[in-house]
């Protein structure tokens, strides 16, 4: 019985085929990355789409916009001056009414020593009023800096702010008895995507965590793994 002849490509053609397969993989990977966020049900997370801006966040390599705001003690805080003392972990939270935020703030406070011992400044930014900030700080025994974004400018500059859908506002009002707009001292309800940015002393973003799903946030483990990029 004669064997079946299996064609064997010349070595040169084999190399070419490997290159084709490699670049095909890169193309498919690039397409999957570029489509990240497409098809997201933004309304599920309270984000008004359509004619409203959908935040995408700043990117690694971007210069972090400077800001000046007041913390829970009424002290003026400027990013530029903070960076003179060390890198910054900057994150956003929605408000004292948010159960996910409450758990997250507790986790942050429990782990704060591991972060500041590396020479980092930790700054939280929120749209809720200073009175509500003070309550949040007291309830969670927060020792890191919490800034009230009174003009919503920090959220805008870091591209995390969105307009909250009417349906989501009604849901929060019904379940938690909270008006998001009133909690922020505003007529219009705006919230941030609870993103996290790690900023080196040169003012450059070296790591970011950004997800429209407010339940998905930067873990302490993620921060510890990425802080070295800022040192």
- How do residues 46-99 score in pLDDT, each as one tens digit? 999 876 789 999 999 999 999 999 999 999 999 999 999 999 999 999 999 999
Query: Is the pLDDT assigned to residue 25 strictly greater than 70?
Result: no
The CA-based angle 196-197-200, given to 5 degrees, is: 155
Share of the chain above pLDDT 90, in %: 79
Q: Residue range 149-176: average pLDDT?
A: 97
Alpha carbon distances (Å) from 7 to 4, 15, 23, 149: 10, 16, 24, 69
Average pLDDT along the chain:
87
Query: Is the pLDDT assigned to residue 26 strictly greater than 80?
Result: no
Q: Residue range 108-120: average pLDDT?
A: 93
pTM for the whole structure = 0.82
Question: CATH classification of 42-230 is 3.30.360.10, yes or no?
Answer: no
Helix (H, G, I), strand (E, B) or coil at 197: strand
Query: Is the pLDDT assigned to residue 123 strictly greater than 80?
Result: yes
Query: Is the pLDDT assigned to residue 37 strictly greater than 90?
Result: no
Q: Which residue has the higher pLDDT, 42 or 20?
A: 42
Alpha carbon distances (Å) from 66 to 60, 69, 78, 86, 90: 16, 10, 7, 15, 12
Query: Is the pLDDT assigned to residue 5 strictly greater than 60?
Result: no
Share of the chain above pLDDT 70, in %: 83
């Amino acid at each position: 019985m004669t064997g079946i002849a299996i064609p064997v490509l010349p070595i040169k053609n084999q190399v070419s085929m490997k290159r084709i397969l490699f670049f095909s993989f890169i193309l498919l990977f690039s397409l999957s990355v570029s489509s990240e966020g497409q098809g997201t049900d933004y309304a599920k997370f309270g984000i008004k789409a359509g004619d409203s801006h959908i935040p995408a966040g700043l990117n690694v390599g971007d210069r972090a916009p400077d800001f000046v705001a007041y913390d829970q003690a009424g002290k003026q805080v400027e990013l530029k001056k903070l960076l003179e003392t060390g890198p910054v972990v900057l994150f956003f939270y929605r408000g004292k009414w948010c159960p996910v935020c409450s758990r997250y703030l507790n986790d942050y406070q429990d782990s704060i020593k591991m972060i500041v011992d590396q020479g980092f400044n930790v700054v939280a930014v929120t749209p809720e009023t200073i009175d509500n900030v003070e309550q949040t700080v007291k309830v969670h025994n927060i020792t890191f800096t919490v800034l009230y974004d009174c003009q919503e400018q920090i959220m805008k500059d870091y591209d995390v702010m969105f307009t909250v859908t009417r349906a989501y506002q009604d849901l929060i009002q019904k379940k938690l008895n909270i008006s998001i707009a009133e909690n922020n001292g505003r007529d219009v309800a705006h919230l941030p995507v609870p993103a996290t940015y790690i900023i080196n002393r040169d003012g450059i973003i070296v790591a970011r965590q950004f997800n429209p799903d407010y339940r998905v946030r930067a873990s302490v483990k993620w921060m510890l793994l990425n802080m070295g990029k800022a040192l």
